[in-house]
Amino acid sequence: MTDFSVLRNRAITDVIEPGSTVKAFTIAAALGSGLYAPGTIIETSPGWMMVGGNEVKDLFNYGTLTTTGVITKSSNIGSSKIALDIGAEPIRDVLERGGFGEVLGTGFPGERSGVLPNPRRWGRHPTATFSFGYGLSATALQLAQAYSVLADDGIRKPVSLLRLDESQVSALSREQVISADIANMVRSMLGTVVDASRGGSALEANVPFYSVAGKTGTAHVVGEQGYEDNLHNSLFVGMAPASDPEFVIVVIVNEPKGEEHYGGQVAAPVFSRVAAGALRILNISPDSIPEEQSLELSAL
């Protein structure tokens, strides 16, 4: 019997809850509201909070964070407080403009739109969890499209599964769906996720001699009786070189085996290897050579 599942392009046909990769767009909405700046202080102690009778918690007690720190540490409490402050609708609006909740028009059979719900009558807990990627679903392609908006100064372009030449690329429609300033601020924040000096959550996503920006995600798998406590999807969405991105890569590991399941542990190393290969094949010049090595090369 033929296993037709192997014929699927799972980046287009399979949907998952995107988890904390959504926080980039929560932050974009926060910046767009005018109520938050990258340095705005958000208190996340003691590492958990009750919202609508339900607990929202972080992996650790991160204490006092900035808006940037919410991305760096991937704080559920920080993103929840932002969502409860600005509401879920601005976040949904940013996601919709980025391509969530719609068929992207590849023409590939079985392309899915995912689910982007209307939060108008939501209570506090669904609003909070929406801010870190629960209550919606998306394909890997939609995640790539949305992050490409952040990579390309807030401009959205159509997606294609076919290789396009330069004239075809230049003829593509372009829509400014997020302001360039906000896209650049969020991209800078995503750079802290891989920065050891900032305590980033995805150090294994780094690529030697290149700057990287991205976001981890870890989401419980939905089973017949609701969320499965011990089953997860691990994600990392990143771009490189972060100073002038040439590509976006989405890594999704379904139900990873072993002791580790967080996106920064499981998906980020895959991103690093794939990105390193892509940078080499595309012949993209390094943009992050340590100063001492740069001096050594100059002396040769």
> Model confidence over 224-279: pLDDT tens digits?
667 777 788 999 999 999 999 999 999 999 988 877 888 999 999 999 999 999 99
Give the closest residue to 150 by CA, choosing from 24, 240, 57. 24
For residue 241, is the peptide bond before it cis, meaning its omega torsion is within 30 degrees of 0? yes
Per-residue pLDDT of the chain (300 residues; tens, 9 = 90+): 555 556 689 999 999 999 999 999 999 999 999 999 999 999 999 999 999 999 999 999 999 999 999 999 999 999 999 999 999 999 999 999 999 999 998 888 999 999 999 998 899 999 999 999 999 999 999 999 999 999 999 999 999 888 888 888 888 889 999 999 999 999 999 999 999 999 999 999 999 999 999 999 998 887 766 777 778 899 999 999 999 999 999 999 998 887 788 899 999 999 999 999 999 999 999 998 876 665 454 445
pTM of structure: 0.93
Task: Judge contact between 67 and 23, C-beta under 8 A.
Answer: no
Helix (H) / strand (E) containing 42: strand 41-43
pLDDT for 198-212, tens place per residue?
A: 999 999 999 999 999
What's 190's domain CATH number? 3.40.710.10
Q: 3-state SS string over 223-267?
A: ECCEEEEEEEEEEEEEEECCCCCCEEEEEEEECCCCCCCCHHHHH
DSSP 182: H
> Structural domain tally of the chain?
1
**Tell me, what's the pLDDT at 193?**
98
User: Rounded CA gap, 70 and 88, in Å?
Assistant: 17
Task: Indicate which residue of 5, 20, 137, 294 is catalytic.
Answer: 20
Alpha helices (runs of H) in the chain, residue ranges in sequence order: 10-13, 23-33, 67-73, 76-86, 88-98, 124-130, 140-151, 166-170, 180-191, 263-281, 291-299
Q: CA 203 from chain center: how many Å?
A: 15
Question: Active site includes 20?
Answer: yes
**Structural domain boundaries, residue 69:** 4-299
How far apart, in whole angstroms, are the C-alpha atoms of residue 166 and residue 163?
10
